[in-house]
Amino acid sequence: QQFKQLLSDYPQLSLKMIEALSQRLHASEEQSMLLSTCTAKERLFNFICKEAELVNGHQIFYHEETKRFLAGFLGMSSETLSRSLHQLADEGKIKERHNHQIEVFC
């Protein structure tokens, strides 16, 4: 009851919660679609391109997580992630840098 009263007293809070839940649902649906329609390498490249940021004229993907965590998030094994990273590098689509950075050529 207290929560309902809080939402009633502060309607902007309700709208922010709906917005946050909507964004999470969209991200979940997108991840489900990628898992069912793309190869592991395609999922990885799409994710890296989407998350990369422009830094000094270069598209840079920075990952604080371990590669094991990233692999689990993308629905693949650590070995598949490593193999996919090597393949993308060989294809000239990425270049692994120091400090958990990957330069991306989308």
Digit-coded pLDDT (tens) for 10-68: 999 989 999 999 988 887 787 776 666 789 999 999 999 989 999 999 999 998 888 88
pLDDT of residue 83: 96
Decide if pLDDT at 3 tops 70: yes
- Contact between residue 68 and residue 75 where contact means Cβ atoms under 8 Å apart: no
Which amino acid appears at position 27 of this protein?
A
Going from the C-alpha of 46 to that of each of 35, 51, 60, the distances in angstroms are 11, 9, 13
User: Which pLDDT score is estimated for 35?
Assistant: 65
81-105 mean pLDDT: 94
In the numeric block, the tokens 């009851």 are attached to: 1
